[in-house]
Amino acid sequence: MLKRYFDTLLSLFDLILLSPVLIIIGLFIRKEDSGPVFYRGVGWADMGTLSGYSSSEQWLWMLKKWVDHLRRMMVQGLKRLENF
């Protein structure tokens, strides 16, 4: 039960922490290209087939991977402290 609350609080903290960074990146993209920040495109999927995707899906995927990596690092650090 405690882990669930910890994960929820950590995710909320990460979202609050990263929101300004993502907004600034979006503003830079908008200023540089004068185009949309979010777009739809076509890319290669598994088995060599074409698949549609949106740029927001890529951002969310990268953000989730980064948050998961940070969470694993924090958990490992807490385990080391417990063993100390």
Mind listing the pLDDT tens digit for each residue in 28-79?
A: 887 887 777 766 677 666 666 666 666 666 667 777 887 888 888 888 887 7
Residue with tokens 């951002």: 59
Domain extents in the chain? 2-83
Interhelix angle 2-33/55-83, rounded to 10 degrees, is: 140
Tens digit of each residue's pLDDT (9 = 90 or more) over 6-32: 888 888 888 899 989 988 888 888 788
Distance CA 36, CA 26 (A): 9
* 45, burial (CB in 10 Å: exposed 0-12, middle 13-18, buried 19+): exposed
